[in-house]
A and B are shown apart, each in its own frame.
Chain A
Amino acid sequence: MNAAVGAAVESRSSPLATLGRLVRRNVWTLGLLVILALLLVATKIIQPSYGPAGIQGLAISVLPLALAAAAQTSAVLARGIDLSIGSMMALTSVVSARLMDDQTEGFAILVVAGVLILGLVIGAVNGALVVFTRVPDIVVTLAMLFVWAGAALLVLNTPGGGSAKWLSDLTRGPLFTDWLPQAAVLLVAVVAVIWIPIRRSRLGLSIYAVGSDPLAAFRSGVSVTRTKIFSYMLAGLFSAIGGLALTATTGIGTPVPGPYTLMSVAAVVLGGVSLAGGRGGIFGPVIAVIILSLLRTDMTFLNVDTNLATVAQGLILVGVVMVGSLIQMRRER
């Protein structure tokens, strides 16, 4: 994603220099893409019949996870962290499933719009609490994890509700060719449409500035308060889209949060976003999610004990991050 922005901004300088700069800026993301490509080749070797159906399944299962990763990236870039993402997804999912149940397709458009606004609002609540109470992000969002999860159970105490057909159809099936799942197109489109304008705006710059050094940002005239609240609103918005994706792919709303918060942090770390804020992009975590999901699938093909697979996933995560930090340290020296 940084690549796209970079290309647009610097299209006037010499193409070769631009390319060099792009590669240098996005080493981590490009590295992840290489890993993903290798993994796809490995998957094809392990399971020769792996084809369009497998890619489709992968895209659908990645969708909610990737949106959670995007949400977490929004918070972490501004030196925050949001542990309530899974709960926000559960809340927005049950609200949408309950409202769309037995309603017309047209009404569902209103529901989707309403749920997106709900995401912005609950994100704003998280952000406002962090900023105005001055309680650390991790504590506030940990508390809000329970608040939003409880709210989800109040809306729907057991899995249920429904999804509009057009919403479900958006995530299913291929587009143009069997090899291009609609879910993947949807994911890229949604993330790009939201993130690119923000990244290129003053606000995007403020997020990185606050994330790098809040004091310096403040002294340069950036409103830290506003920026942080906005980053949490963005996290809420992505969570709401993730919640809608859950409703769309399963056809129901589930009030008990899934493993999305933990997965989002893992993806952010693996995706090259510094937990200390201010460094990284949104596409790294998204690719990281695909890698983690594909690893799971490969473990299934190899019939590795699921518990072992979980251990392996953690070890890979630690390993990649350690190698990454080593590269970073050497470069800085």
Chain B
Amino acid sequence: MALLQVDRLRVEFPARQRTLVAVDDVSLSIDAGEVLGVVGESGAGKSVTGAAIIGLIEPPGRIAGGEIRFAGRRIDCLPDDAKRHIRGREIGSVFQDPLTSLNPLFTVGQQLVETILAHSDRTAADARRHALRLLEEVGIPAPAQRIDAYPHEFSGGMRQRVVIALAICAAPRLIIADEPTTALDVSIQSQIIALLKRLCREHGTAIMLITHDMGVIAETADRVAVMYAGRIVEVGPVRQILRSPNHPYTQGLMESIPRLGSDSAPLAQIDGAMPRLHEIPVGCAFHPRCPDASERCRETRPALRMVADSASVACLLFDDGCADD
């Protein structure tokens, strides 16, 4: 059984004239110890999906349909207090910008200790010892000296390590990492990715890695889900999708990644832009930009269906099982 099972999730934001659908009929699952990459342009609904899982959709946004199960238990309709016990304890979070994720007026030690105390019965002294161990584990040098420092006294990369330490305070079984490296320097990015991978390996923690960076996905993820305009267009093992993407959008994404050593044609790009939430077209959301769009794509919305051993794609080209192009 999967650790996290999301079924037909739908998230809506009521706006002035109409209701915007940020996440539309999204299903995905993560197994224990697995890294699922969720990739897509900004506004594709990746972060909202993550927020929905931990029950932190900003009002007036709301989950309008579907269900979320964690370790077999339904968590999307729990009371607030029960949701809080899942956050941090069962599911840890890492946010994009380590500069703004930490409260500037409290030392990192204070923020670690309060998180540990919120999820365990440790004494304050014990919590502090645990905080020191955590800082050491995420690779903060000389944690005993740094624990009483304020966030602004850390560099960006070190702050992200502190954020990760906060995420693993209560040894959660799943970490939702929303663009954990986007705000960091390139040289730091790989260190943070390596840290996440190590934690995943050593503790068997599953990770939902939300990013727009295919490179990070390639390096880290076991499986990848590609999102477009609030929907999942393709999902499958990362190698398979990187090697032979099925959905025209994924293909476009792959072709737009610069490759070293291949002096092939100029970098391809997908024409147009992802539609904004209030102008998502009927039918396949990608059809206005799709090179292979047919008349049917304008009317029929494709469902996600299995095309190879373990890869699924939502595209009418594959609708009748004849996936030969």
A binds B: no
Q: Which A residues are closer than 8 A to B by beta carbons?
A: none
